[in-house]
């Protein structure tokens, strides 16, 4: 019982993360009709926003220590953050500790701008081009982005810690009357709530605002909306910026779970495509549904009891589900006819 | 079928054959004339030509063709281990097995089109990769890769760690240490290996030409331009698509087999999605739908991977040694960003530049240059003629 | 397509092809002729000899590869100068500037930590650049693949960082040599420390990377901990590069295990360790014991990625820069002065391999693989940071002390992440040759 409950919880947690990562991708598919292979790179850049903020808080000057020596035996050059110098150690440590949640703001701004620049400078010219061209050009961009990150941050993962208040695990079992063995990390619970909030936010934005209405109309029939005298192009730019910002915050918040490295975008790329396609191209609710479905199935497939019957099932479950769903439901769970089928 | 070949087609074929066969000389000035790189260019040329039969002609973008490369390699190495070091059975068995798998995967995947098809093929390839890396280790030897070994002493040694080579043993061929692959006595490493691959590349190129020129090829192109119209006229397109998929799978199987022929090892990473992506890039880079383009793209990417990655700072300093010190350091600093460990960056820029400015790949670039030369010599009548031509 | 275009292309091909044939023929044939006139592969003819450094420059191990390359450049500097760094403390004094009267030059290649790419770059260095030795690498799969290639091509392979038993066990080759330790030695060195610190009779849960190295590591840990009552509750295989390991960690909570062994390396280790600690495993009490985590193979570069999660966790390592013997100090000094930070264990093993190879060539007075191999076989040396070391003749494996380390609680610098708990003496980690199977076979000099 405990074990099953834990796997469900784990599946929801994973599902939330998958849905959040895939959300921007399917948004861009649905509205702009663009296959964005750089989406994983945007996710990766978001997580490096968290690293950057941490580095900014850590900008230091050097002071030659009188007592300590470095590994070569020379006097140690102590690094003292300016923040510590100006505001004292308490403020400095507090900022460093909370740098990951604070980096959400940075990620929204930076990634929103990156998204808008990308759309204006590159994607705009590819609306009418074949998907293969879109794939190649965004893939090239993804390589460039990740190589630049590697140049400045190295190839090794860079650990980012959650604030101390959320560092340990929550005794979920005690809340609902299960045993002590049902514990779950605070930060993952927070990430789950966070992803739910972001997903609902994006939904509400598209569903209940005039802007969202126009964008949805543009998804259905771009030409008519244009004939009505609405500048749909500008709105699409904003949608792309939004997608990039969502990928960015998803990445920034994920850093305590997975220490970021320059290659994590590529690692998530295939997964996010599978989620989007299983959900149905361009369908937001489909992506969310597929995210949770794949998350929970993957979690259960990894249980020892399941693995002992079907060895290796945990390694292929995602792809297996994708195959089965695509063969039974031609356009994924909630895909519309005619999207991306040419 | 050959009757449809025009004089130009024959010239193209002969020209292609000559270029491929003189590569060991022609590539000398750029430092690419050594057996391994030449073999890789030929092998991935075959892979890309085959991929182009599916993607270039029908427009169906498969993201799982690396699976067939892997299958071809594994079958070949098993043929070396169980039957003989002669490459002929290995090549035949690999292509056959790749055809079987391509039929199975194609039959299922081609029920869908567009990106759904791409994801289905990707899913099959990733499943093959993940299983080959872990659970199927008894067959694939997992991460280490399947290798040829010496004849085993007793049946207690697993077939993975000791070979039997039934045919070679029956023929009483003596082995010292681990033997190397041969084609009726001709060893398949170094330049002979390259020429073996090169001849097969030319044959594959010829077959691809035949397919493009044939009615079958026309049908595939029709599928690309408007599948619905074909369906309305009562033509069942699926058999054509499956045939194209199987043919391109066989090309991939042959490429995988040749990888094992020139270097008898088979590893799971050959099946990873990045490997499938690589052939997509090669094809688009060179020019999808053209005959020569994919080979060109394959050569370029393999050259970048092998040579550009090896230009370290020492080599850069040599290259710029004629310059004054300050300038030399600046250039070395600047270029080291793009070569050596930064070669991925160059590749990324290359993709973007080509796609943005030359949507038809390198072949379009060649066409444009050719048309500039032509324009200088043609009069206006020709131009008017060109305008009057129907669009494709 | 018009006819004119084709005619054009054809003439370009014809004249271009003919011209390049005319230009290039002499080179081509001279090279072939040269290769035949020598009786071993890539025998150096000029006043330089070329080493091939095959390290991961892209991919997950790029930083480790960069450190290996730094160490190689330093080693080449020291070999050509005939002194400096650990060359001064090395027990053999054969090297006095260059090798066999030639200066050492080097070429580099990118393994991408993929067997195919690694073999391709090694082939390029052998076939095109004339390297007499290939060395480097950061994974066992790659090491075994490249070792097989070097055997076929007829050059020596000096393995870099490779920890699997198979490299000098099941898959050993005459032309291949390894300085780094293996899972067998890790298990043998780690087990007594674990018994001393964590007691007998524990219930152990293994999370194992699902490939040969992971299995090998899992097997060695079980072999050496089971005798004192560490019982395996479950050994779960995880896919390589899984990223999020949470679905494998949740079952541990209910398994009744009180010990977790993470048979992961690199990014997998960083992620699984970070996440296991996040799940509060280390705060738990199971069976009346504190829950503990063990990471059998540590690398300082990777511990950096795991951050605070690694504190207090036991593991083993080949070498660590904080060792206080003269050799280690000399190496850290020369490396640190050149690059500004201390070397990693990968850098150390690569530096040693380069020095050992050059020294063997000097002692053999040739670069011929069989002669160099004979000079390395059974070679006993000291002064390379690991105490007295033996290059065992039967399997080309180095036998030396193994370090048991622990994540440091209060690091004083970004490099000060591990503390050495014990230096396990060589005698304790030695094992009989036939334990791991495999056969060296004959040397291949690559004579045409």
* Same domain for C258 and C327: no
Establish how many alpha carbons lie within 13 A of residue C354's alpha carbon, considering only the half-sphere containing its beta carbon: 33
Chains within contact range of chain B (3+ C-beta pairs < 8 Å): A, C
What is the per-residue burial (b if ≥16 Cβ within 10 Å, else e) of C124-137? Answer: bbbbbbbbbbbbbb
Give the span between the Cα atoms of B205 and B201, in whole angstroms: 6
Q: Which residues lie closer than 8 Å to C143 by C-beta, 6 or more apart?
A: C137, C159, C160, C162, C164, C167, C178
Q: Which residues lie closer than 8 Å to B379 by C-beta, 6 or more apart?
A: none
Q: If you search the block for the tokens 């056959």, which residue do you land on?
A: B96
For residue B3, how many other CB atoms are within 10 A of its CB?
A: 5
pLDDT score, position B391: 39
Q: Is the residue at A270 inside a domain?
A: yes
Q: Which token pair is A134?
A: 């879109």
Look up the domain containing A301 and give its range. Answer: 2-55+106-328
Q: If you search the block for the tokens 């080599």, which residue do you land on?
A: B315
pLDDT score, position B392: 40
Q: Mean pLDDT, to the nearest integer, of A194-198?
A: 94
CATH code of the domain containing A11 = 1.10.3470
Q: Kindly determine whether residue C61 and residue A184, on different chains, have CB atoms separated by under 8 Å.
A: no
pLDDT score, position A341: 54
CA-closest candidate to residue C244, choices A255, A90, B301, A183? A255
Say whether residue B309 is in contact with chain A using an 8 A CB cutoff. Answer: no
> Please, are residues C135 and C353 in contact by the beta-carbon 8 Å criterion?
yes
Distance from CA of B253 to the nearest CA of A (A): 23
Look up the domain containing C267 and give its range. Answer: 184-317
Task: Tell me which residue in C128, C170, C240 faces B133 most closely, judged by beta carbons.
Answer: C240
Q: If you search the block for the tokens 């998803």, which residue do you land on?
A: A250
Number of domains in chain A: 1
Query: Is the confidence metric ipTM above 0.90 for this complex?
Result: no
Instruction: pLDDT band for B204, please (50, 70, 90 cuts).
Output: very high
* A342, closest residue in chain B (CA to CA): B114
Alpha carbon B341 to chain centroid distance? Answer: 24
Within 8 A of A144 by CB-CB distance, chain B residues are 345, 348-349, 352
Q: If you search the block for the tokens 């300082």, which residue do you land on?
A: C300
> DSSP letter string over A227-286?
HTT--HHHHHHHHHHHHHHHHHHHHHHHTTTS---TTHHHHHHHHHHHHHHHH-TT-HHH
Give the span between the Cα atoms of B237 and C195, in whole angstroms: 69
Q: Is the residue at C23 inside a domain?
A: no
Torsion, Cα of B107, B109, B110, B112 (10° steps): 140
* Same domain for C189 and C79: no
> Please, are residues B101 and B257 in contact by the beta-carbon 8 Å criterion?
no
Q: Is the residue at C199 inside a domain?
A: yes
Q: Which residues lie closer than 8 Å to A123 by C-beta, 6 or more apart?
A: A32, A34, A36, A138, A240
Share of chain C above pLDDT 70, in %: 91
Give the span between the Cα atoms of B90 and C81, in whole angstroms: 51
For residue B379, how many other CB atoms are within 10 A of its CB?
A: 7
Q: Is the residue at A172 inside a domain?
A: yes
For residue B218, how many other CB atoms are within 10 A of its CB?
A: 12
Assess whether pLDDT exceeds 80 at residue C25: no
Say whether residue A309 is in contact with chain C using an 8 A CB cutoff. Answer: no
Number of domains in chain C: 2
* Same domain for C176 and C74: yes
Give the span between the Cα atoms of B231 and B223, in whole angstroms: 9
Q: Kindly determine whether residue A3 and residue C254, on different chains, have CB atoms separated by under 8 Å.
A: yes
Q: Kindly determine whether residue B143 and residue C140, on different chains, have CB atoms separated by under 8 Å.
A: yes
Q: Mean pLDDT in chain B? A: 88
Within 8 A of B26 by CB-CB distance, chain C residues are 16-17, 20-21, 24
> Please, are residues C17 and B18 in contact by the beta-carbon 8 Å criterion?
yes
Task: Tell me which residue in A274, A316, A326 faces B112 most closely, judged by beta carbons.
Answer: A326
- pLDDT tens-digit readout, C217-245: 999 999 999 999 999 999 998 888 778 89
Q: Is the residue at A63 inside a domain?
A: no
> Please, are residues C296 and C263 in contact by the beta-carbon 8 Å criterion?
yes
* B120, closest residue in chain A (CA to CA): A323
- pLDDT tens-digit readout, B42-76: 999 999 999 999 999 998 999 999 999 999 999 99
Distance from CA of B169 to the nearest CA of A (A): 37
Maximal C-alpha separation, chain A: 75
Within 8 A of B347 by CB-CB distance, chain A residues are 140, 143
Give the span between the Cα atoms of C145 and C162, in whole angstroms: 12
> DSSP letter string over B34-71?
SHHHHHHHHHHHHHHHHHHHHHHHH----S-THHHHHH
Spans of all domains in chain B: 34-306, 318-392
Q: Is the residue at C446 inside a domain?
A: no
Give the span between the Cα atoms of C295 and C263, in whole angstroms: 7
Q: Kindly determine whether residue A156 and residue C302, on different chains, have CB atoms separated by under 8 Å.
A: yes
- pLDDT tens-digit readout, B73-127: 999 999 999 999 999 999 999 999 999 999 999 999 999 888 889 889 999 999 9
Q: Which token pair is A173?
A: 């079992």
Assess whether pLDDT exceeds 90 at residue C59: no
Task: Tell me which residue in C8, C57, C62 faces B370 most closely, judged by beta carbons.
Answer: C8
Q: Is the residue at C145 inside a domain?
A: yes
Task: Tell me which residue in C234, C239, C244 faces A304 most closely, judged by beta carbons.
Answer: C234
Q: Kindly determine whether residue A141 and residue B349, on different chains, have CB atoms separated by under 8 Å.
A: no
Give the span between the Cα atoms of A257 and A43, in whole angstroms: 14
For residue A207, how many other CB atoms are within 10 A of its CB?
A: 12
How far apart, in Å, are the Cα atoms of C185 and each of C64, C259, C378, C404, C426?
22, 21, 19, 11, 9
Say whether residue A152 is in contact with chain B using an 8 A CB cutoff. Answer: no
Q: Kindly determine whether residue B263 and residue C66, on different chains, have CB atoms separated by under 8 Å.
A: no
Say whether residue C252 is in contact with chain A using an 8 A CB cutoff. Answer: no
First to last CA, chain B: 23
For residue B62, how many other CB atoms are within 10 A of its CB?
A: 30
Q: Which token pair is B293?
A: 């383009």
Q: Is the residue at A83 inside a domain?
A: no
CA-closest candidate to residue B344, choices B293, B280, B278? B278
- pLDDT tens-digit readout, B343-352: 888 888 988 9
Q: Mean pLDDT in chain A? A: 88
Long-range contacts of A307-314 (CB under 8 A, 24+ apart): A307/C236, A307/C237, A311/B135, A312/B130, A312/B131, A312/B134, A312/B135, A314/C239, A314/C247
> DSSP letter string over A136-155?
HHHHHHHHHHHHHHHHHH-S
> Please, are residues A156 and C301 in contact by the beta-carbon 8 Å criterion?
yes
- pLDDT tens-digit readout, C371-406: 999 999 999 999 999 999 999 999 999 999 999 999
- Determine the 3-state secondary structure of B219 from DSSP: helix
pLDDT score, position C121: 92
Establish how many alpha carbons lie within 13 A of residue A173's alpha carbon, considering only the half-sphere containing its beta carbon: 16
Q: Which of A147, A298, A331, A335 to mutate against chain B (most B CBs within 10 Å)?
A: A147
Q: Is the residue at A61 inside a domain?
A: no
Q: Kindly determine whether residue C333 and residue A267, on different chains, have CB atoms separated by under 8 Å.
A: no
pLDDT score, position C362: 94
Sign of CA dihedral B293, B295, B298, B303: negative
Assess whether pLDDT exceeds 70 at residue A89: yes
Alpha carbon B143 to chain centroid distance? Answer: 23
User: Architecture of domain B34-306 in CATH?
Assistant: Orthogonal Bundle (1.10)
The H-or-E segment that residue B19 falls in is: helix B7-21
Task: Tell me which residue in C254, C279, C415 faces A185 most closely, judged by beta carbons.
Answer: C279
What are the residue ranges of helices labelled H in C95-208?
Answer: 115-127, 140-153, 183-198
Within 8 A of C258 by CB-CB distance, chain A residues are none
Within 8 A of A125 by CB-CB distance, chain B residues are 356
The region of weakest confidence among A148-157, A243-252, B254-263, C325-334 is A148-157
> Please, are residues A300 and A314 in contact by the beta-carbon 8 Å criterion?
no
How far apart, in Å, are the Cα atoms of C44 and each of B291, C34, C39, C325?
43, 11, 11, 37
More confident residue, B188 or B389: B188
- pLDDT tens-digit readout, A275-320: 998 998 878 889 999 999 999 999 999 888 888 888 888 889 999 9
Residue ending a domain, choose from C275, C297, C317: C317
Q: Which residues lie closer than 8 Å to C192 by C-beta, 6 or more apart?
A: C424, C428
* C114, closest residue in chain B (CA to CA): B269
* Same domain for C372 and C293: no
Q: Which token pair is C439?
A: 């056969």
Say whether residue B350 is in contact with chain A using an 8 A CB cutoff. Answer: yes
- pLDDT tens-digit readout, C249-268: 999 988 889 999 999 998 88
Question: What is residue A161's DSSP assignment?
Answer: P
Q: Is the residue at C140 inside a domain?
A: yes
The H-or-E segment that residue C203 falls in is: strand C202-209
Q: Is the residue at C428 inside a domain?
A: no
Give the span between the Cα atoms of B166 and B172, in whole angstroms: 10
- Could you give phi then psi for residue C371, rounded to 5 degrees? -75, -40
Q: Which residues lie closer than 8 Å to B97 by C-beta, 6 or more apart?
A: B71, B72, B75, B253
For residue C309, how many other CB atoms are within 10 A of its CB?
A: 25
Give the span between the Cα atoms of B70 and B265, in whole angstroms: 11
First to last CA, chain C: 48
Share of chain B above pLDDT 70, in %: 95
Q: Which token pair is B13?
A: 């074929």
Give the span between the Cα atoms of C372 and B121, in whole angstroms: 50
pTM exceeding the 0.90 threshold for the entire prediction: no
Chains within contact range of chain A (3+ C-beta pairs < 8 Å): B, C
Q: If you search the block for the tokens 């779950």, which residue do you land on?
A: A184
More confident residue, A286 or C411: A286
Which A positions 152-171 lie with beta carbon below 8 A of chain C?
154-159, 161-162, 167-169
* Same domain for C213 and C173: no
Q: Is the residue at C438 inside a domain?
A: no
Q: Kindly determine whether residue C115 and residue B307, on different chains, have CB atoms separated by under 8 Å.
A: no
Which A positions 271-300 lie with beta carbon below 8 A of chain C?
298-299
Establish how many alpha carbons lie within 13 A of residue A234's alpha carbon, considering only the half-sphere containing its beta carbon: 4
Say whether residue C232 is in contact with chain A using an 8 A CB cutoff. Answer: no
Q: Is the residue at C162 inside a domain?
A: yes
- Determine the 3-state secondary structure of B83 from DSSP: coil
């Amino acid at each position: 019982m405990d074990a099953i409950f834990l796997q469900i919880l784990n599946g929801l947690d994973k599902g939330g993360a998958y849905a959040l990562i895939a959300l921007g991708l399917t948004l861009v598919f649905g509205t702009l009709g663009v296959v964005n292979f750089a989406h994983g790179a945007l996710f990766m850049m978001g997580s490096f926003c968290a690293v950057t903020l941490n580095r900014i808080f850590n900008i230091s000057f050097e002071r030659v220590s009188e007592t300590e020596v470095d590994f070569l035996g020379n006097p140690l050059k102590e690094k003292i953050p300016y923040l510590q110098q100006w505001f004292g150690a308490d403020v400095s440590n507090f900022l460093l500790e909370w740098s990951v949640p604070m980096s959400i703001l940075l990620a929204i701004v930076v990634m929103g701008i990156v998204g808008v620049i990308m759309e204006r400078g590159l994607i705009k010219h590819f609306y009418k081009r074949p998907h293969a061209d879109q794939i190649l050009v965004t893939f090239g961009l993804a390589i460039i982005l990740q190589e630049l990150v590697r140049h400045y941050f190295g190839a090794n993962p860079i650990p980012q810690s959650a604030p101390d208040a959320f560092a340990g695990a929550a005794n979920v079992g005690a809340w609902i009357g299960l045993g002590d063995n049902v514990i779950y990390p605070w930060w993952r619970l927070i990430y789950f709530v966070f992803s739910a909030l972001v997903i609902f936010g994006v939904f509400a934005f598209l569903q209940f605002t005039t802007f969202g209405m126009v964008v949805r109309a543009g998804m259905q029939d771009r030409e008519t909306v244009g004939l009505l005298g609405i500048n749909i192009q500008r709105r699409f730019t904003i949608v792309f910026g939004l997608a990039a910002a969502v990928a960015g915050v998803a990445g920034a918040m994920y850093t305590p779970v997975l220490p970021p490295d320059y290659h994590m975008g590529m690692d998530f790329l295939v997964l996010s495509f599978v989620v989007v396609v299983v959900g149905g191209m361009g369908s937001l609710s489909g992506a969310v549904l597929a995210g949770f479905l794949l998350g929970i199935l993957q979690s259960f497939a990894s249980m020892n009891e399941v693995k002992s019957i079907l060895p290796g099932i945990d390694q292929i479950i995602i792809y297996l589900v994708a195959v089965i769903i695509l063969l039974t439901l031609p356009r994924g769970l909630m895909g519309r006819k005619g999207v991306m089928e040419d | 079928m050959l009757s449809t070949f025009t004089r130009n087609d024959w010239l193209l074929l002969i020209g292609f054959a000559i270029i491929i066969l003189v590569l060991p000389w022609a590539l000398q000035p750029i430092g690419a004339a050594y057996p391994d790189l030449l073999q890789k260019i030929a092998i991935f040329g075959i892979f890309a030509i085959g991929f182009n039969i599916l993607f270039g002609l029908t427009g169906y973008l498969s993201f799982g063709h690396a699976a067939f490369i892997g299958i071809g390699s594994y079958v070949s190495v098993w043929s070396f281990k169980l039957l003989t070091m002669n490459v002929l059975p290995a090549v035949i068995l690999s292509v056959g097995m790749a055809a079987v798998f391509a039929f199975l995967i194609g039959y299922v995947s081609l029920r869908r089109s567009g990106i759904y098809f791409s994801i289905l093929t990707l899913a099959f390839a990733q499943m093959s990769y993940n299983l080959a890396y872990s659970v199927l280790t008894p067959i694939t030897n997992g991460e280490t890769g399947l290798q040829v070994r010496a004849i085993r002493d007793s049946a207690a040694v697993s077939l993975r760690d000791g070979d039997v080579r039934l045919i070679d043993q029956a023929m009483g061929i003596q082995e010292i240490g681990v033997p190397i692959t041969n084609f009726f006595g001709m060893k398949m490493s170094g330049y002979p290996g390259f020429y073996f691959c090169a001849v097969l590349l030319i044959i594959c190129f010829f077959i691809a030409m035949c397919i493009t020129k044939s009615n079958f090829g026309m049908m595939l192109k029709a599928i690309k331009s408007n599948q619905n119209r074909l369906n309305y006229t009562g033509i069942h397109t699926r058999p054509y698509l499956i045939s194209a998929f199987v043919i391109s799978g066989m090309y991939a199987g042959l490429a995988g087999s040749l990888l094992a022929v020139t270097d008898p090892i088979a590893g799971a990473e050959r099946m990873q999605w990045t490997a499938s992506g690589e052939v997509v890039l090669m094809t688009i880079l060179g020019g999808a739908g053209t005959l020569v383009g994919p080979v060109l793209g394959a050569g370029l990417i393999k050259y970048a991977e092998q040579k550009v990655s090896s230009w370290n700072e020492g080599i850069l300093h040599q290259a710029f040694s004629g310059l004054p010190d300050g300038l030399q350091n600046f250039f070395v600093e600047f270029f080291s960003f793009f070569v050596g460990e930064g070669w991925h960056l160059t590749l990324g820029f290359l993709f973007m530049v080509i796609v943005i400015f030359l949507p038809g790949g390198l072949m379009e670039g060649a066409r444009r240059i050719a048309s500039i030369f032509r324009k200088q010599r043609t009069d206006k009548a020709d131009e008017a003629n060109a305008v009057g031509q129907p669009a494709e | 397509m018009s006819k004119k275009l084709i005619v054009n292309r054809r003439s370009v091909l014809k004249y271009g092809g003919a011209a390049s044939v005319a230009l290039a023929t002499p080179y081509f044939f001279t090279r072939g002729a040269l290769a035949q006139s020598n009786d071993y592969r890539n025998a150096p003819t000029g006043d330089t000899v070329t080493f091939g450094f095959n390290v991961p420059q892209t991919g997950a191990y790029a930083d480790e590869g960069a450190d290996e390359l730094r160490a190689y450049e330093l080693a080449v500097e020291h070999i050509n100068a005939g002194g400096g760094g650990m060359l001064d403390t090395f027990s053999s004094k054969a090297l006095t500037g260059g090798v066999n009267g030639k200066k050492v030059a080097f070429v580099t290649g990118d393994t991408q930590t993929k067997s195919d790419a690694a073999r391709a770059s090694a082939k390029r260095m052998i076939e095109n650049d004339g390297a007499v030795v290939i060395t480097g690498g950061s994974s066992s799969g790659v090491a075994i693949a490249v070792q097989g290639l070097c055997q076929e091509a007829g050059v020596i392979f000096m393995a870099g960082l490779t920890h699997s038993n198979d490299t000098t066990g099941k898959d050993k080759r005459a032309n291949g040599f390894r300085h780094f330790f293996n899972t067998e030695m890790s298990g043998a060195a780690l087990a007594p420390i674990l018994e001393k610190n964590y007691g007998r009779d524990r219930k152990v849960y293994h999370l194992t990377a699902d490939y040969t190295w992971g299995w090998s590591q899992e097997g060695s840990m079980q072999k050496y901990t089971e005798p004192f009552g560490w019982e395996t509750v479950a050994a779960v295989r995880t896919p390589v590069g899984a990223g999020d390991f949470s679905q494998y960690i949740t079952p541990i909570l209910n398994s009744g295990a009180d010990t977790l062994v993470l048979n992961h390396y690199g990014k997998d280790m960083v992620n699984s360790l970070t996440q296991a600690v996040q799940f509060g495993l280390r705060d738990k009490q199971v069976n009346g014991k504190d829950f503990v985590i063990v990471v059998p193979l540590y690398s300082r570069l990777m511990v950096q990625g795991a951050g605070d999660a690694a504190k207090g966790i036991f593991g083993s390592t080949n070498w660590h820069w904080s060792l206080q013997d003269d050799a280690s100090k000399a190496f850290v000094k020369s490396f640190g002065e050149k690059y500004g930070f201390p070397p990693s264990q990968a850098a150390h093993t690569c530096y040693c391999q380069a020095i050992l190879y050059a020294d063997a060539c000097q002692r053999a007075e040739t670069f011929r693989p069989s002669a160099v191999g004979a000079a390395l076989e059974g070679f006993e040396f000291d002064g390379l940071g690991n105490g007295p070391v033996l290059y065992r003749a039967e399997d080309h494996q180095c036998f030396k002390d193994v370090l048991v380390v622990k994540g440091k609680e209060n690091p004083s610098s970004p490099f000060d992440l591990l503390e050495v708990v014990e230096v396990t003496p060589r005698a304790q980690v030695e094992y009989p040759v036939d334990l791991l199977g495999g056969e060296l076979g004959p040397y291949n000099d690559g004579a045409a």
